[in-house]
Homo-oligomer: A and B are copies of this chain.
Amino acid sequence: MQKTQVYIQDDFWEDYSELIRNTVIPYQWEALNDRIEGAEPSYAIRNFRIAAGLEEGGFGGWIFQDSDLYKWLEAVSYSLRDRPDPELERIADEAVDLIGQAQHDNGYLNTYFTIKEPGKQWTNLYEAHELYCAGHLIEAAVAYYQATDKRKLLDISCRFADLIESLFGTEPGQMRAYCGHQEIELALVKLYGVTGEERYLNLSRYFIDERGSKPNYFVEEWERRGRTSIWNRGTPNLEMYQSHLPVREQTVAVGHSVRAVYMYTAMADLARLTGDDSLREACERLWANVTRKQMYITGGIGATHLGEAFTFDYDLPNDTVYAETCASIGLIFWARRMLQLEAKSEYADVMERALYNNVLGSMSRDGKHFFYVNPLEVWPEASRKNPDKFHVKPVRQKWFGCSCCPPNVARLLSSLSDYIYDVSADGATVYVHLYIGSEIGFAAPDGCLVTLHQRSQLPWQGRTEFSVSLANGAGAAGTAFELALRVPDWFQNGRPVLKVNREIQDYRMENGYAKIERTWLEGDTLEWLLPMEAKLIAAHPQIRANAGKAAIQRGPLIYCVEEADNGAPLASLSMAGEPKLSERLVPDLFGGCIVVEGDGLADDSASWPEGQPYQPLNKQTKPVRFKAIPYYLWGNRQPGEMSVWLRC
């Protein structure tokens, strides 16, 4: 792929960039410094200060608390890349200095083991997240270097990576181990990307290749620890950590969903960079399993909070769901790498689905409250009173002690420009994966520097316009390249209309992309029309939770009904067959959004005999008009019931 520069210019998304830049990043910095009133302290900065010898005290927070600072730094990097901010960069530089001060002479860097268990380094790969934290350090370092050209954090992470490379591997004296929480694998690929050092790529491949081999490292290590664990009881749960089988033999997604998709992301990277077909096939198999059989319609993954894990094919309960924000972000990471492996629209479809629904919905409109769990059905009283649903919150939470999700949202949304396009190495083909207003600069095959402007009306309307600017004096001759426009899975009305300079043009379809190759002249315009309409969507018959029900989708947005608009219980509401759906822009709702309405029936509870829990069936319904709002906006009014799936 060609390295390109992309800038987002999009009303919908700039609201989010601004929110990340002006609210989320500053708020999270306050959180990392334990200055948010009423929120659990993070201890992250304090841990680094103690490890650096600048402060006295004990370790606070989770064993992987360091990663919160690293994820914040990564988000800051993307923000600085888009928009320089000397004051923010100064704060970040100080954080980098602090990290450097906490690093050991041999390159080791982890505040938990520095402060709390100095003698226990590398004795609990299964649970202790040392390599996981190293991975987030590396990701932050790569991003900070790319944004600022400053090498300090990169050097810190290279020193740590070099230590790790010396300790882990198949050579005599090395640990044949890998991390209980995959992350460093994908980070090392990035480190290879900026340094060009193949040993980092090889170390990533080693971790992936070694995982799940027999005898199992986690079991051996647990035996050596005297069969003790921090959180887990009994023999290590190998499926939970995706170490039950060598990765190439894994065919269905199991275990902790974030760990899984982080691992699959690295596998896809390695398959691409090393041309490893067996790894590629494993990725494709696992992709098919996750996205066809274990994914919620919102792009959420992970059906149970116990282990925050996948369960099994078609088990997608809406109300006891996990669908962690971080897991959908990991799914987007993975989808991005699958696109780089092969430009197939299904990868971008999933990326778009997870982004506009599960991920966007996780953040409140004030940028200060987050869902970790993203349910498809909520009954607030059950969330308070039924322990099986305690994890399902009807209201977004402030920064958590285990605040994995908010910094992950920040780093994804602040790097969104990386997800829109791919340009082949020679510049011959420009793939447009997402319809987000933006500008990309690239070099066409003839060397002409091209700027492609995209103006999009997504997610509200499906009309997208492109215009071409040419530099280097291409002049009247123009420059030839192919534009590949994704046909989204939500567009199912035949072939979309494509116009160049207002004239309809034919194109060929390949792997879900509409491809048009021509010699482009300065000022050429392209219109790409994907008219949207609200549709009723059904789930696969094996997904028992959704039998007899339908969801509403309009473009990439999944809709839901809320108690605020439809009363309670929402379960009393039925769409009564297949109603005609109407759409309406409501300017004063959440700053303007399109609601979907239709005719439905509500069970008439007034006719129910007083005091009887069960009675002979005597269906009494009354006509109602139901109103659905985009799922990503749910939970921004008074707490109430919410449901994505409605009886029909």
Residues of A within 8 A of B (CB): 288, 291-293, 295, 297, 303-307, 309, 311-312, 315, 317, 320, 379, 381-382, 385-388, 492, 535-545, 547-548, 550-551, 569-572, 574, 578, 603, 605, 608, 611-619, 647-648
A613 to B299, CA, bound (A): 11
The reply to whether B617 and A648 form a contact with Cβ atoms under 8 Å apart is yes
Residue in B382, B538, B572, B618 whose beta carbon sits within 8 Å of that of A618 in the complex? B538
B538 in contact with A617 (CB, 8 Å): yes
Question: Could you tell me the distance between the alpha carbons of A292 and B613 in the complex, rounded to whole angstroms?
Answer: 5
Of chain B, the residue at the smallest CB distance from A551 is B614
Given A541-B603, A541-B608, A569-B542, are A492 and B616 neighbors across the interface (CB < 8 Å)?
A: yes
Q: Are A315 and B385 in contact (CB under 8 A)?
A: yes
Q: Of the candidates B291, B311, B379, B578, which one forms a contact with A385 in the assembled complex, judged by CB atoms under 8 Å apart?
A: B311
Asked whether, in the complex, the Cβ of A619 is within 8 Å of the Cβ of B292, the reply is: no
Instruction: Give chain B residues whose Cβ lies under 8 Å from the Cβ of A312.
Output: 381-382, 385-386
Partner of A612, one of B292, B381, B385: B292
Which chain B positions have C-beta within 8 A of A317? 386, 388
Complex contact B540–A569 (CB within 8 A):
no
Contact B550 A571 (CB under 8 A): no
A293 & B647 in contact (Cβ 8 Å cutoff): no
- Residues of B contacting A613 with CB < 8 Å? 291-293, 295, 297, 539-540, 543
B304–A388 contact, CB under 8 A? yes
Contacts of A551 in B (CB 8 A): 614
Please tell me if the beta carbons of B381 and A292 are within 8 angstroms of each other in the complex.
no
A442 → B minimal CB distance (Å): 34
B539 contacts A605, CB within 8 Å?
no
| Complex alpha-carbon distance, A379 and B542, angstroms | 11
Of all chain B residues, the one with the shortest Cβ separation from A549 is B548
Other A-B pairs, 10, CB within 8 Å; known A544-B570, A550-B617: A312-B381, A317-B386, A536-B617, A537-B614, A538-B614, A539-B613, A540-B613, A540-B615, A541-B608, A548-B548
Query: Could you say which residues of chain B place their CB within 8 Å of the CB of A320?
Result: 320, 388
Chain B residue with the shortest CB-CB distance to A306: B387
In the bound complex, how far is the Cα of B292 from the Cα of A293, in angstroms? 39
| Smallest CB gap from A536: residue in B | B617
In the assembled complex, the CB of A490 is this many whole angstroms from the nearest CB of chain B, namely 9
- 13 A-B residue pairs with Cβ-Cβ distance under 8 Å, sorted by A, are A297-B613, A311-B385, A311-B386, A311-B387, A312-B385, A312-B386, A315-B379, A320-B388, A537-B614, A537-B617, A544-B570, A547-B603, A617-B648
Are B315 and A381 neighbours in the complex by a CB distance under 8 Å? Answer: yes
Report A41 CB to chain B, min CB distance, Å. 20
Cβ-neighbour of A311 out of B382, B544, B550 (below 8 A): B382
Interface contact A536-B616, CB-CB below 8 Å: yes
Contacts of A492 in B (CB 8 A): 616
* Contact across chains for A574 and B548 when beta carbons are under 8 A apart: yes
From B387, B539, B543, B619, give the contact of A304 (CB < 8 A). Answer: B387
Q: What's the Cα separation between A527 and B550 when bound, in Å? A: 52
Chain B residues contacting A297 (CB-CB under 8 Å) are 613-614
Q: Give the interface centre of A307, A381, A572, A614 by most chain B CB atoms within 10 Å.
A: A614
How many angstroms between the C-alpha atoms of A619 and B618 in the bound complex?
25
Most B C-beta atoms less than 10 A away, residue of A317, A611, A617: A617
Evaluate whether A612 and B541 lie within 8 angstroms (CB atoms) in the complex, with A306-B387, A572-B547 already known. Answer: no
A541 surroundings in chain B (CB, below 8 A): 569, 572, 603, 605, 608
User: Which of B292, B548, B615 touches A538 (beta carbons < 8 Å)?
Assistant: B615
CA distance A379 to B543 in the complex (A): 12
Bound together, the chains give a CA A578 to CA B608 distance in angstroms of: 18
Instruction: Evaluate contact between A614 and B540: CB separation under 8 angstroms.
Output: yes
> A388 CA to B605 CA in the complex, in Å?
31
The reply to whether A382 and B614 form a contact with Cβ atoms under 8 Å apart is no
In contact, A616 and B537 (Cβ under 8 angstroms): yes
Whole-angstrom distance between the Cβ of A474 and the nearest chain B Cβ = 44
CA distance A293 to B578 in the complex (A): 33
Name the CB-closest residue of B to A648.
B617
Give A547 to B572 CA distance when docked, in angstroms: 6
Cβ of A379: which chain B residues have Cβ within 8 Å of it? 315, 544
Which residue, A297, A309, A613, has most C-beta atoms of chain B within 10 A? Answer: A613
Note all chain B residues with C-beta closer than 8 A to A548.
548, 571, 574, 647
Query: Are A616's CB and B535's CB within 8 A?
Result: yes
Which residues of chain B are within 8 angstroms of A293 by Cβ–Cβ distance?
613
| Chain B residues, CB < 8 A from A618 | 538
In whole angstroms, what is the CA distance A204 to B569 when docked?
Answer: 42
Contact of A569 among B538, B544, B550 (CB under 8 A): B544
* Chain B min CB distance to A575 (Å): 9
A152 to chain B, nearest CB (A): 44
Using Cβ atoms and an 8 Å threshold, which residues of chain B touch A571? 544-545, 547-548
- Measured CA separation A617–B574 after assembly (Å): 15
Question: Which residues of chain B have C-beta atoms less than 8 A from A616's C-beta?
Answer: 492, 535-538
CA distance A128 to B538 in the complex (A): 52
Q: B539 and A614: CB pair below 8 A?
A: yes
Point out the residues of chain B lying under 8 angstroms from A542, CB to CB: 569, 605
A615-B537 in contact given A311-B385, A312-B381, A382-B315 (Cβ < 8 Å): yes
Residues of B contacting A382 in the complex (Cβ-Cβ under 8 angstroms): 311-312, 315
The 10 closest A-B pairs by CB, nearest first: A547-B571, A306-B387, A544-B571, A541-B605, A536-B617, A311-B386, A312-B385, A538-B617, A548-B647, A550-B617
